[in-house]
Amino acid sequence: MKEAVNKTQLVKRKKIRIVGDNSRVITLPHVPSKVPRINNIIKRVLKLSEAEAEEQLNKTLLLFADRHRDLEQLLIRNYDRISEYVIKKESISKTQKLLIGAFFTMEYSIESAALFNPSIVLHPDQSLLAEGSVRFIMSLRATGEGHISSIVFRSGILDKNMSFNFDTVSEYVETPLMVHDPFYEKIRFQLKLKDMKAWNETSKRVLSGLPDFFTHAELRDNIRDIFLDSNFAVDSWTTTTIHWLADSNYKIRFDDNTAISERVIFPISANESKGIEDARFVKFTHDNGHVVYYATYTAFNGRRILSQFIETHDFQTFNMITLNGDGVKNKGMALFPRKINGKYAMLSRQDGENNFVMYSNDLHFWDGGTLIQEPEEPWEFVQIGNCGSPLETDRGWLVLTHGVGNMRQYSIGVILLDLEDPTKLIARLEEPILTANEEEREGYVPNVIYSCGSMIVDNKLILPYAMSDVASRIAIVDVNDLIDKMKFI
């Protein structure tokens, strides 16, 4: 008979509950899909006298200005989106522009439904801390109206006594400015088109006139030129795919004045229009010692999912990147925190049921994979997956897993992989380390315990986890005690 894990001794749940705040709102464009409706709204606003327009604008500012750091700038931004429909732009006053912008703006409460599926990493800035303390950044999946998910952040200090002191969460929430990458790498762009089965005469013609590193504007101009060439039959599906690929690889930057709790990565590209889900952040150290933060996430467009990638050095500027290859066709990618034997390594669940390890020479492309774990215990009979990037210990790679059992109960388990060859599973915990207790099992999706990433500090496993897809909390586990309770294979 198997010896059950004594979870009451092994796991210490912190009292902290990380919950959503429905007063944290962003502004989004609110533009009708039909042009006549856009024109009608503009005409109605312009029929107002300057005094009437100013009165309406003042009411709007009085009601909404304290909910956004610079509401006027946001209104002007949304006016600019529809300004092509405005006749005689030069005669439009600032008041009219702002009021028109307000009619094409809406508020969106990013955390109104849930705040869950956290991951945690060490903050890039570890200066001016008391001895034994570390500064951290936690990412969370925020879900609002229409079940659209985005990425939000919290920060704080974990002291030597394992007490969490979260930084004050700002009342403001900011979306970033999007800028297309100043350069796309031609060879990599071509490889991605090949993977998407879009490498043909049209794509060859588009890329042939571009330099080795090209801008979004140069790409757009080349596409326009081949449409103007009457001697060339353009494949419109291919040009649409090229636009889609370019628009799906983009850069965003938050204003210098924003605190990290104010930053929200909200869906921008078409392939993530219905949600950015389950970001698994990892602090990655390159062979030369250079540190970069990467994250995998699931992009959802309402019909299909895509595995995507984030790169950041400072949590202010983020590169959003498409992942390609047969190995990234499902959810749940999690990058190892360093190269192994000269290659990048990634956990995956390519078949939707079992855990795999993949290797690659290029972070953007993943193929193949080695099966490392299948469901063995009743609490994971339905499927297994990972709960974030592996954690390096002197005894092996510690991997938190999730298992789904009967009645769709989710639990968190633990396995240990060989340091030099992580395709070798060397130990596993036979019972889950965490299952939902009575106060954690009720929620939007009941009976679910889930995490997207942990860290080890002073030989303690810091495990943030979500409770039934509503809110989050944190557990602490001694790493040596945990490994000692595992069954070695």
Question: What is the rounded CA–CA span in Å between residue 187 and residue 192?
Answer: 9
Question: What is the rounded CA–CA span in Å between residue 292 and residue 312?
Answer: 6
Percentage of residues in the chain with pLDDT exceeding 90? 92
Question: What is the rounded CA–CA span in Å between residue 300 and residue 122?
Answer: 28
> What number of other Cβ atoms are within 10 A of residue 22's Cβ?
12
For residue 18, the cross-strand partners are 472
Residue 8 has pLDDT above 60, yes or no: no
Question: What is the rounded CA–CA span in Å between residue 401 and residue 411?
Answer: 8
Residue 325 has pLDDT above 70, yes or no: yes
Tokens of 100: 């028109």
Percentage of residues in the chain with pLDDT exceeding 70? 98
Residue 72 has pLDDT above 70, yes or no: yes
The per-residue pLDDT for 23 is: 95
User: What average pLDDT does the structure give for the chain?
Assistant: 95
Question: What is the rounded CA–CA span in Å between residue 284 and residue 270?
Answer: 28
Question: What is the tens place of the pLDDT at every residue in 276-307?
Answer: 999 999 999 999 999 999 999 999 988 888 88
The per-residue pLDDT for 1 is: 36
The per-residue pLDDT for 178 is: 86
The per-residue pLDDT for 183 is: 87
**Mean local confidence (pLDDT), 323-330:** 91
pLDDT band at 336 (very low <50, low <70, confident <90, very high): very high
The per-residue pLDDT for 48 is: 97
**Mean local confidence (pLDDT), 166-179:** 93
The per-residue pLDDT for 120 is: 98
Question: What is the tens place of the pLDDT at every residue in 100-146?
Answer: 999 999 999 999 999 999 999 999 999 999 999 999 999 999 999 99
- Between residues 3 and 48, the one the model is more confident about: 48
**Mean local confidence (pLDDT), 30-53:** 97
- Between residues 90 and 5, the one the model is more confident about: 90
Question: What is the rounded CA–CA span in Å between residue 218 and residue 57?
Answer: 40
Residue 4 has pLDDT above 50, yes or no: no
Cβ atoms of residues 188 and 365 within 8 Å: no
Cβ atoms of residues 119 and 137 within 8 Å: no
- Residues sharing a CB contact under 8 Å with residue 430, sequence separation 6 or more, in sequence order: 2, 3, 5, 377, 487
Question: What is the rounded CA–CA span in Å between residue 347 and residue 417?
Answer: 11
Cβ atoms of residues 142 and 262 within 8 Å: no
The per-residue pLDDT for 304 is: 84
**Mean local confidence (pLDDT), 2-30:** 83
- Residues counted in the chain: 489
The per-residue pLDDT for 180 is: 75
The per-residue pLDDT for 302 is: 86
Question: What is the rounded CA–CA span in Å between residue 48 and residue 6?
Answer: 71
Residue 3 has pLDDT above 70, yes or no: no
Q: Nearest-CA neighbor of 180 among 254, 271, 250, 245?
A: 250
Cβ atoms of residues 249 and 184 within 8 Å: yes
Q: Is the pTM of this model over 0.85?
A: yes
Question: What is the rounded CA–CA span in Å between residue 100 and residue 114?
Answer: 32
The per-residue pLDDT for 67 is: 96
Question: What is the tens place of the pLDDT at every residue in 358-388?
Answer: 999 999 999 999 999 999 999 999 999 999 9
Question: Could you give the C-alpha distances from 423 to 168, 221, 333, 415, 475, in angstroms and in order?
Answer: 42, 46, 15, 12, 28
Greatest alpha-carbon pair distance for the chain in Å reads 83
Say which range, 40-44, 203-207, 268-272, 411-415, has the weakest mean pLDDT. Answer: 268-272
Tokens of 482: 């945990």
